Amino acid sequence: MATVEMLEENRVKLMFEVGPERFEKALERSYRKNKNKIRVQGFRPGKAPRKMMEMEYGSDLFFSDAVDDVLQSAYQEAIEQNKLEVIGKPEINVESVSKESGVVFAAACDVVGEVSVDGYYALTYDCIDTEPSEEELQALISRDREKNARVTTVSRPIQNGDVVLIDFDGRMDGRPFEGGRGKDYELTIGSNTFIGAFENQLLEAKTGDHLTVYITFPEDYMEQAVAGKPAAFDVDIKEVREKELPEADDDFAQDISDFETFQEYRDDLADKIRQAKQREAEQKKEEQIIAQLIEKTTANPPPILVQEQLDENLRALQQRIEEQGWNLDQFCQYISKTQKELLEEYRNNAYLQVKGTLALEAVAKKENITITPEEIEADMNVMKAMLRVDSSVTLDPDYFKKNLLIRKAMRFIKDKAVEVNR
């Protein structure tokens, strides 16, 4: 017998019990498991009857072990009986225990609660053109020509597009500052690699020239120590190099690719652009559909699930920041947000992610979407191959089943969605 009492939203108190007969069997199992460890005067190890051991050490000698024996199965039966979807680890206490009455447990559990979803047929998404434009094609062609340009040293004044080899030494308020010095630095004029008008001030200079360049760092510059401040750089022009771009013809295509003609190379670029735009369009389609699905879902995501999702998202963010060589303060300054604003934004996104997952699970349940053991096995094998782990490694099938259900539910509503021109 089990009863449920609502403590607060997404949290319940579950009372369940194990009867005296079932508890007696657990006590007997505990006795048989532990009898060789318990000494009773006049008996060889393991030969004393259970009653003698209980008389010697107390009637509750085997209670603790027997309670542990029955707890998990009794708890599982109780949540199944009450159709509870429990999340996280429950807080379980023993309310009472005796041979005469058995065991009464009380468990405080976080639960998903009721999720209601409707109106998910014929959700809409924007029509997106996935054909490559001429500008996109030319940008990729120009990129490849730039990468394969021949660079020659010239004695003329610097022009836009030249690569210059420079030494520079920066000063702020007459004093050097961190990051303001460089030696044998290759700078492409017009690339906007340096702040403000730095590159433009080198135009018309020649090899051997020494000049002073003046700039002002932007107010939102990531290094707060120099943000918004003026600086002067002494620059020595050590070499001027001119880029000679290859002609966009069949020879160029053969040099940089496996294609014989420029048209084949160009068609391949177009196909890559098309595929990238199709992936982006598919992602936007899913985002638009899931946003509408969330609006049609009645559910209040449990705080524990939101916090878990938030923690996961923040760990991923921290990893990306560190890979860029930044810290959190620099990143927040770069995106013009405070840490508090960033955290609030991420918390809201985590809330929506969890609600979207609950909505898709509800769709799967409502539409009787099922997952076969073969599908779970295949998905686990794909993951093992990606992680390059041995096929004998054990993975959690419930995790893969849940993900497969969500993916199938997403495909279900996508297949019924309608493309619109807004």
Q: Tokens for 15? A: 């009372």
How far is 295 from 293, CA to CA, in rounded Å?
5
Q: Tokens for 220? A: 């939102």
Residue with tokens 């090899």: 207
pLDDT above 90 (res 393): no
Residue 27, CA distances (Å) to 5, 68, 95, 103 in order: 30, 10, 18, 12
How far is 401 from 378, CA to CA, in rounded Å?
11
Question: H helices within 120-243, ranges in order?
Answer: 134-147
Q: Is 320 left (phi over 0), alpha (psi -120 to 50) or beta?
A: alpha
Quick one: average pLDDT of 77-102? 94
The candidate with the shortest Cα–Cα distance to 92, out of 83, 103, 100, 102, is: 103
Q: At 291, is the secondary structure helix, strand, or coil?
A: helix
pLDDT above 90 (res 269): yes
CB atoms within 10 A of CB 128: 13
Q: Tokens for 74? A: 């009794």
Residue 62 burial by Cβ neighbours in a 10 Å radius (0-12, 13-18, 19+):
buried
The candidate with the shortest Cα–Cα distance to 94, out of 80, 86, 84, 105, is: 105
Lowest-confidence region among 118-127, 172-181, 401-410: 172-181
How far is 283 from 242, CA to CA, in rounded Å?
42
- Identity of the highest mean pLDDT range in 103-112, 173-182, 325-334: 103-112
Q: Please say whether the beta carbons of 161 and 202 come within 8 A.
A: no
pLDDT score at 413: 96
How far is 293 from 197, CA to CA, in rounded Å?
49
Provide the CA 357 distance to its chain's centre, in angstroms. Answer: 14
pLDDT score at 329: 87
Q: Please say whether the beta carbons of 420 and 126 come within 8 A.
A: yes
pLDDT above 80 (res 145): yes
Q: List, in order of start, the domains of the chain with CATH numbers.
A: 2-111 (3.30.70.1050), 150-244 (3.10.50.40), 268-420 (1.10.3120.10)
Lowest-confidence region among 168-172, 283-287, 298-302: 298-302
pLDDT above 90 (res 335): no
Q: Which helix (H) or strand (E) holds 305?
A: helix 303-323
pLDDT above 80 (res 328): yes
Q: How confident is the model at residue 46 (pLDDT cuts 50, 70, 90)?
A: confident
Share of the chain above pLDDT 90, in %: 80
The candidate with the shortest Cα–Cα distance to 294, out of 85, 123, 110, 112, is: 123
Q: List, for residues 195-222, the tens digit of each pLDDT value.
A: 878 999 999 999 999 999 999 998 877 7
pLDDT score at 48: 92
How far is 252 from 181, CA to CA, in rounded Å?
39
The amino acid at 340: K
Strand partners, 104: 17, 96
How far is 355 from 8, CA to CA, in rounded Å?
19
The candidate with the shortest Cα–Cα distance to 23, out of 97, 88, 81, is: 97
The candidate with the shortest Cα–Cα distance to 114, out of 1, 6, 2, is: 6
pLDDT score at 210: 96
Polymer length in residues for the chain: 422
Quick one: average pLDDT of 305-309? 94
End-to-end CA distance of the chain, in Å?
A: 57
